[in-house]
Amino acid sequence: MEIVSLNVRKLLEEIPSDVILVAAVKGRTIEEVQEAIEGGIKHIGENYLQEAEKKHPFISSVVKWHFIGHVQKRKSKKIVEIFNMVETLDSFEVAKEIDLEASKINKIMSVLIEINSGRELQKSGLLPENVESFIEQTSHFKNIKVQGIMTMGPFFEDPGKLRPYFIETRKIYEGIKKRKIENVEMKYLSMGMSSSYKIAIEEGANIVRIGTLIFGSRH
Residue 1 has pLDDT above 60, yes or no: no
Share of the chain above pLDDT 90, in %: 95
Q: Where are the domains of the chain?
A: 2-215
Is residue 45 very low, low, confident or very high in pLDDT (cuts 50, 70, 90)?
very high
Is residue 40 very low, low, confident or very high in pLDDT (cuts 50, 70, 90)?
very high
Residue 63 has pLDDT above 70, yes or no: yes
**Alpha helix locations (H) across the chain?**
2-14, 30-39, 49-55, 76-82, 92-104, 131-138, 163-179, 197-202, 212-215
Residue 187 has pLDDT above 80, yes or no: yes
**What torsion do the CA atoms of 111, 65, 82, 32 make, to the nearest 10 degrees?**
150
- Say which residue, 2 or 65, is predicted with more confidence: 65
C-beta separation of 136 from 113 below 8 A: no
Model pTM score: 0.96
Over residues 143-153, the mean pLDDT reads 97
Q: Quick: pLDDT tens for 75-106.
A: 999 999 999 999 999 999 999 999 999 999 99
User: How confident is the model at residue 218, as a pLDDT?
Assistant: 74
User: How confident is the model at residue 142, as a pLDDT?
Assistant: 97
C-beta separation of 82 from 49 below 8 A: yes
Residue 219 has pLDDT above 70, yes or no: no
Over residues 31-60, the mean pLDDT reads 95
User: How confident is the model at residue 61, as a pLDDT?
Assistant: 83
User: How confident is the model at residue 60, as a pLDDT?
Assistant: 78
User: How confident is the model at residue 127, as a pLDDT?
Assistant: 96
Domain 2-215 is in which class? alpha beta
